[in-house]
Structure 1
Amino acid sequence: MTAEKILRAATILKRHLSGLSCRLRAGKQRLMSDQGGTRSIPGGKELPTLNRKVAFVVLAAAWIAAGAGILEGKDTAVEQALACIDRAAASLRRRVLDNGAVLLILEDHSAPVVSIQIWVKTGSIHEGEHLGSGLSHAIEHMIFKGTEKRGVGQITREINDTGGDINAYTSFDRTVFHADLPSRHWRVGLDVLSDAVQHATFPEEEWKKEKDVILREIAMCNDDPGRLVDYLLMETAFSVHPFRFPIIGHKEIFERLTRDDILDFARRNYTPDNMTVTIVGDIDADEVESAVRDSFKNFIRRSRAPAVLPEEPRQIAPRSRRREGAFNVCRIELAYHTVPLTHPDAPALDVLAAVAGEGRSSRLVRRIKEEKRLVHSINAWHYTPLETGLFGVSMLLDPEKEAAAVAALEKEIASWSRARFEESELEKARRMMLTSELADLQTMRGMAAMLAEGEFYACDPLFGRSYLKRVQAITPADLRDVARRYLTVENSTIAVVAPRPESEPAVPKKEGGPALRVERFVLRNGIPLIVREDHRLPFAYAVFALTGGVLYETEDNNGVTKLLSELLLKGTRTRSRDDVAEEIEAAGAYMAPFCGFNSFGIQLRCLSSDLDRFLNLAVDCLVEPAIAPAEIDKEREAQRAAIEAERERPMYLAQEQLRFELFPGHPYRLHPLGTPESLARLDRGRIVAHLRKLAVAGNVAAAVFGDVSAEQVRDEAENLLARLPEGRRPSLPGLTATPSLPARVERREPREQAVVLAGFPGVALTDPRADSLSILHYALSGLSSDL
């Protein structure tokens, strides 16, 4: 391994550890990626953070909230959000180049980082005679395989050598190429990306290799029940529109693609007037504009036929599709045709989805998950592209509850056309839009994506601002009206992916900005407190972390820490479960437990003006959780379902086997979720005992970042954390894993893909060799690595 590669890996690692965004991610968001050709429909699955107005409601699933008087002029939160957007975009520069390309430039000197994105208005729905082949996705894979002046691997290597990252993704209606790197290297990023989209050569030998890679991705998708139910829904809901084809394509059609097909499609669609270039970061706008004009000066327009897509005919009867297989749990998606983004009803449908199924206090979660206990998870979403949209509900449940869950869901949806929606429910959705829009401003990549998508979908980089205003005008009557108009039986489509009945055995398939100061305090009871002031946005973040996880578990109680962590926010001695959920969501905040192999705790994000009360709430949940028997039963069942869902994934099964081989006799061989058998042994007494053992002052660390005063946070923490009982971190017996190596284990599963894992014993985090191994990890990762 060369010294240059080691230096590059160290730079990447340093950039990751420095936490350029300095924030917690609210909720688990997964970028839409090329892998599997995921579609931009929410439902707790692949969700593009680069499509916030198109899939507006779901992007802040964990942040839905309410606040009295949200209407502009009555709530300073709205004015604050709009002012933040205005400040952030004050220097925005929009130019249309002579060749038709749109250029967006924004200077942001808060960190020495730049994000460069090139959006191409071509996706899987534009593939014409190649519909269903995944041609757009194939081009995304091939675009970095070399140009007229850069060989195979050089594109990614040049970006990685600066300490940056380069990647791409494909959607129904666009393909996006993006790079994030230290701002002093912005010319390298621009030169590499502009060269790739203008001069890609698509080498024949690389195409042969990449076809095998994509075929493996297709196999992975076929093994993923979450993707399967997505595909099943789309191909059933749409009979004419190209939305019915998966972005990654069908295997039998993809296999017939040739390099000539790629060259022809790219030449017709990768034209400058079909692109938006967005650059945000610590740069000089004049220099960047001049460089972009120079980079694109020889990129001429070419004639291109307009993209005319078939209109989906009105659905006049309910539709349903079902697939059964080697699955452990049931997944259901119920959807209704709605409207495109430009339709006046789009904001009301977005708000209805938030009110109905986003957040623990939403209607569907409270009534179908919490009260009826028919599902493990449920959420609503609204997908609004420039074409026809979909309003949907996604559920994860045990197969024996399928009929009851569907009946309860249909009854609930039918009631919305005559139900009374409370103003407080609307306010939650409005606050969600506010926090989502503000969250975009926290990173260069987020801001670049927000500007690009506004330009892409509305020819207005600041479309989010006007959309927020449209949302403020929605009334309870509007929600009833759109429910009555669109959520009808004849307009419904239901897709089900469920376990095959036991009577039918499964048949295996054959196939640098200014430094931000960090301060460390030690409270009177010994708890370390880390505080970092960052006043760029009106957010505050906090984490209370405790040593725990599987490290303090045995086979007998495996999963107890995970179960305990989920119960922390399910009520306290003075607050009910619903009180806790309502308090969080009413303020547009995010609070969630976390649990892993070494630790567990609570993390939160809120407006900085609300920090005191949410620190109080978090400590209350940590010190005096109710741990009610009814909640134990529900969470235990949800955790059991999560185990079954994980065991459907070949990668999970392989990782499980690898842990057994590397950590015999050590807690690390266990998984934080536990096993169905160990969960069954966990009663309230054992859970409470585990909490009392770990939730002591000597086993807690706290951190607060954001728009805060370090001294005030310290004083508040002194008072709040004094509630924790005294005690030292529980000791661990001398744990050593003595694997018998080398070892080889093979396991057969009824799946399409093969998974190969190779593992080696590592070192402890405190070992002086840990940093070297981390650098080695980054050096061997990525598209330009030796592997």
Structure 2
Amino acid sequence: MLRKLPEGILKRLGLLSLILALGVTAGRAGSLGTDFQYAVLDNGFRVVLVPRPSSSVVASIVVVGAGLRYETVETNGLSHFLEHLLFNGTEKRTQKELYDEMDLIGGYNNANTGPDYTNFMVLAPTEHISTALDIQADMLFHSTLPPGKLEKERGIVLREIDKDRDQPDAQADRLFKALLFEGTPYAWPILGPRELIASIPREPVYQYYKTYYVPNNMTALIIGNFDTDEMLKLVREKFGRVPPKTVPRLQPVQPRVPSQDRLFKRRFTTKQITLHLGALGGRPVLPDFYAYELATQLLASEEGDWSLSRFLHQRFGGAVVDVSVQYDFHPELTALQVQVTLDTSADVQAVWDATRDFLRKVGEKPISRRELDALRLTLRTAEVLDGERPHHLGILKAPYLAVFGPSILSDYWPGMDAVTPVGVQRAWRQWMAKAHFTGLAAGPLRAGGPSQVSGRKEPEMRVLPNGLTVIVQQDPGAPIFAAHVLVKGRLLVEPPGKDGISILLHELLPRGTRAHPGESFRRALDEIGARVQDTDSPWIPFDDYYTQPDFSFVRFECLDEYRQS
């Protein structure tokens, strides 16, 4: 749910960038450690205040305990669904009034969903922050989830899900997470299953909202130009009047940790091969957490003995296109995630073996104090630059607040600075000694030996005796069968006085056929997991290609093994 920043805000942020470039030192501005105040309101609402006198704007980022970790099989996807729904009206503001009032003050209002939280942010000029906070609190505590708007947002989320399904890279990433985090909510898609989002009624969504959107399940990080005493008073006024509620206790996460390394392969029609590799770790515990943060950054760097990218490029040359390394942390588990993009000429098995071997042995390689200090300075500088956009800094800090709480903001840099080179080596060897890797190779693979292009053929066109033009595009590596039907000249063939009758025809298509009348048509589709798209969504402005003036369009998709059905 990303929106562009208003012009006035951009100008103010630009001024702040200039001020920082001219003289703010990295030590104080880069660390929130000595700059913030922390308070807990009587209703349990936690607030962290970070004054920045040089700024002309204020950002409020509210981290809500609502994400994959809080969901069940029956509610998977509701955290993200609610992120959308809370922009659609409250007890005292319509959707239009929410948008108009924020626009009137030159503010910015947005949100994003993570695995352990949902993040709501407002950004406004200092003189208008009271209005912005009032809108934010109104949305968080008093949204009404209007039924008509619910259907609109349902359509938008379904479109997001369909878009992900149409992107092989997104499919591969989702499959890898399902394998790596098997047995936990983190194996599920943040967007949720299409079938659930398409059919879930308003009541369970509203109950989820009332269960987790309570003040004692929220933390606000407020950054900008303000007096801390006045801001705390304002926060109490806007967020402190809602009573707390008991938040359900979460069931322990119990991942299915593999007993040995395992590599899965999945064919996708892509131009490159992606090798995903990951290993689970235990609960993030301080101070080892800081050592793992630094170790992962060393692995992700372009230079140095710990650089995975340098090692793979030296070993496999141009067959390696890109390498990324990520340290993923949640309240009860951590994970190392590596993604290696390969040319189709690469020997996937050899890259898999070499990557695992490097990760297991790299802890033996010495790290100089100078190298570690340079890395810390780089990370601290990046935080200074992120501080130029306070709402962006809040987004980056949200995972830390969700997992560790506000204390991490004061503990982080002292903890990072206390880590020694030997400490990084020790922590990494300790993890790798008992780690088992899960891998997924996705792309134009061929069973056995080095992967090759899957043999996609040139399209063929034929005209059948009845005049139907058929274009066939074969791809042996694709797991999907799709049939697209295009009817030309829609407006030209519609009878006089019956404009739009083809749209009505599209609406009637799901009602059944001669062979499968009524509900039997839908059941027949469900039996083979097929889906038919025949109408535009009225809730999505850009979804308008099924009934254009020049043509009508119908799409049918199923797994290739069921194409004869």
Match of 1:22, SS state, is: helix
Mapping of residues 128-207 of structure 1, within 5 Å: 128-131=72-75, 133-207=76-150
Cα separation, partners in 2 of 1:371 and 1:493, compared to 1, 3 Å: closer
Tell me if the contact between 1:323 and 1:498 (Cα under 8 Å) persists in the aligned partners: yes
Alignment partner, residue 350 of structure 2: 404
Alignment-mate amino acid for residue 216 of structure 2:
D
Alignment partner, residue 339 of structure 2: 394
CA distance, structure 1, for counterparts of residue 550 and residue 164 of structure 2:
27
1:321 equivalenced with 2:283 (yes/no)? no
For 1:235, which of 178, 184, 189 is the aligned residue? 178
Q: 1:445 offset after TM fit, Å?
A: 2.2
**Structure with the higher strand share, 1 or 2:** 2
Tell me if the contact between 2:16 and 2:54 (Cα under 8 Å) persists in the aligned partners: no
CA distance, structure 1, for counterparts of residue 98 and residue 551 of structure 2:
37
Alignment partner, residue 330 of structure 2: 385
Mapping of residues 276-355 of structure 1, within 5 Å: 276-355=219-298
For 1:12, which of 6, 28, 37 is the aligned residue? 6
Alignment partner, residue 578 of structure 1: none
1:369 equivalenced with 2:313 (yes/no)? yes
Alignment partner, residue 460 of structure 1: 406
Cα separation, partners in 2 of 1:396 and 1:745, compared to 1, 3 Å: farther
Cα separation, partners in 2 of 1:84 and 1:180, compared to 1, 3 Å: closer
CA distance, structure 2, for counterparts of residue 165 and residue 23 of structure 1:
21
CA distance, structure 1, for counterparts of residue 438 and residue 257 of structure 2:
13
Mapping of residues 594-743 of structure 1, within 5 Å: none
Alignment partner, residue 217 of structure 1: 160
For 2:385, which of 432, 439, 449 is the aligned residue? 439
Q: 1:253 offset after TM fit, Å?
A: 2.7
CA distance, structure 1, for counterparts of residue 344 and residue 553 of structure 2:
27
Q: 1:230 offset after TM fit, Å?
A: 2.4
CA distance, structure 2, for counterparts of residue 24 and residue 281 of structure 1:
14
Mapping of residues 582-593 of structure 1, within 5 Å: none
Q: 1:185 offset after TM fit, Å?
A: 1.3
CA distance, structure 2, for counterparts of residue 477 and residue 286 of structure 1:
44
Alignment partner, residue 17 of structure 2: 22
Cα separation, partners in 2 of 1:290 and 1:745, compared to 1, 3 Å: same
Match of 1:416, SS state, is: helix
Task: Return 5+ residue gaps in structure 1 as ranges.
Answer: 1-8, 26-79, 512-742, 753-787
Residues 520-567 of structure 1: CA deviation (Å, up to 9, x unaligned): xxxxxxxxxxxxxxxxxxxxxxxxxxxxxxxxxxxxxxxxxxxxxxxx
Q: 1:252 offset after TM fit, Å?
A: 2.2
Q: 1:153 offset after TM fit, Å?
A: 2.9
CA distance, structure 2, for counterparts of residue 425 and residue 91 of structure 1:
28
Q: Which moved more, 1:118-127 or 1:188-197?
A: 118-127
CA distance, structure 1, for counterparts of residue 286 and residue 51 of structure 2:
33
Q: 1:479 offset after TM fit, Å?
A: 3.8
Q: 1:403 offset after TM fit, Å?
A: 3.0
Cα separation, partners in 2 of 1:274 and 1:368, compared to 1, 3 Å: same
Alignment partner, residue 71 of structure 2: 127
Q: 1:24 offset after TM fit, Å?
A: 13
CA distance, structure 2, for counterparts of residue 91 and residue 273 of structure 1:
24
Match of 2:173, SS state, is: helix
CA distance, structure 2, for counterparts of residue 12 and residue 744 of structure 1:
37
- TM-score, normalized by length of structure 1? 0.53
CA distance, structure 2, for counterparts of residue 377 and residue 267 of structure 1:
44
CA distance, structure 2, for counterparts of residue 14 and residue 475 of structure 1:
45
CA distance, structure 2, for counterparts of residue 10 and residue 245 of structure 1:
29
Alignment-mate amino acid for residue 502 of structure 1:
G
Q: 1:201 offset after TM fit, Å?
A: 0.4
Q: 1:214 offset after TM fit, Å?
A: 0.5
Residues 98-154 of structure 1: CA deviation (Å, up to 9, x unaligned): 1111122333231321112221112122113525x3010001110111011111232
CA distance, structure 1, for counterparts of residue 128 and residue 18 of structure 2:
24
Alignment partner, residue 520 of structure 2: none
For 1:494, which of 427, 436, 439 is the aligned residue? 439
Cα separation, partners in 2 of 1:471 and 1:749, compared to 1, 3 Å: farther
Tell me if the contact between 2:5 and 2:108 (Cα under 8 Å) persists in the aligned partners: no
Tell me if the contact between 1:355 and 1:425 (Cα under 8 Å) persists in the aligned partners: no
Match of 1:179, SS state, is: strand
Alignment partner, residue 95 of structure 1: 39
Q: How many residues align?
A: 457
Tell me if the contact between 2:16 and 2:56 (Cα under 8 Å) persists in the aligned partners: no
Residues 183-240 of structure 1: CA deviation (Å, up to 9, x unaligned): 2211210111100111100011111111111011011122333333321221111221
Q: 1:169 offset after TM fit, Å?
A: 0.6
Q: 1:307 offset after TM fit, Å?
A: 2.1
CA distance, structure 2, for counterparts of residue 90 and residue 489 of structure 1:
38
For 1:472, which of 417, 421, 426 is the aligned residue? 417
Identity across matched positions, percent: 23
Q: 1:175 offset after TM fit, Å?
A: 0.7
1:413 equivalenced with 2:413 (yes/no)? no
Task: Return 5+ residue gaps in structure 2 as ranges.
Answer: 446-453, 457-475, 485-548, 559-565
Please identify runs of 4+ aligned residues in structure 1 that moved more than 4 A: 88-91, 446-455, 743-752
Alignment-mate amino acid for residue 116 of structure 1:
S
Alignment-mate amino acid for residue 331 of structure 2:
L
For 1:272, which of 197, 212, 215 is the aligned residue? 215
Alignment partner, residue 48 of structure 2: 104
CA distance, structure 1, for counterparts of residue 313 and residue 381 of structure 2:
26
CA distance, structure 1, for counterparts of residue 8 and residue 163 of structure 2:
32
Cα separation, partners in 2 of 1:325 and 1:105, compared to 1, 3 Å: same
Tell me if the contact between 1:276 and 1:452 (Cα under 8 Å) persists in the aligned partners: no
Match of 2:275, SS state, is: strand
Alignment-mate amino acid for residue 289 of structure 1:
L
Alpha-carbon RMSD across the aligned residues, in angstroms, is 3.4
Alignment partner, residue 31 of structure 1: none
Cα separation, partners in 2 of 1:103 and 1:328, compared to 1, 3 Å: same
Q: 1:85 offset after TM fit, Å?
A: 5.1
CA distance, structure 1, for counterparts of residue 216 and residue 5 of structure 2:
36
Cα separation, partners in 2 of 1:83 and 1:182, compared to 1, 3 Å: closer
Match of 2:271, SS state, is: coil
Residues 65-112 of structure 1: CA deviation (Å, up to 9, x unaligned): xxxxxxxxxxxxxxx7544456x6656332211111112233323132
Q: 1:389 offset after TM fit, Å?
A: 0.6
Cα separation, partners in 2 of 1:180 and 1:317, compared to 1, 3 Å: same
Alignment-mate amino acid for residue 455 of structure 2:
E
Alignment-mate amino acid for residue 190 of structure 1:
L
Match of 1:255, SS state, is: helix
Q: 1:319 offset after TM fit, Å?
A: 2.9
Alignment-mate amino acid for residue 388 of structure 1:
L
CA distance, structure 2, for counterparts of residue 103 and residue 451 of structure 1:
14
Alignment-mate amino acid for residue 211 of structure 2:
R
Cα separation, partners in 2 of 1:262 and 1:510, compared to 1, 3 Å: farther
CA distance, structure 1, for counterparts of residue 231 and residue 403 of structure 2:
24
Match of 2:340, SS state, is: strand
Q: 1:267 offset after TM fit, Å?
A: 0.8
Tell me if the contact between 1:202 and 1:263 (Cα under 8 Å) persists in the aligned partners: yes
- TM-score, normalized by length of structure 2? 0.72
Tell me if the contact between 2:61 and 2:121 (Cα under 8 Å) persists in the aligned partners: yes
Cα separation, partners in 2 of 1:464 and 1:285, compared to 1, 3 Å: closer
Match of 1:376, SS state, is: strand
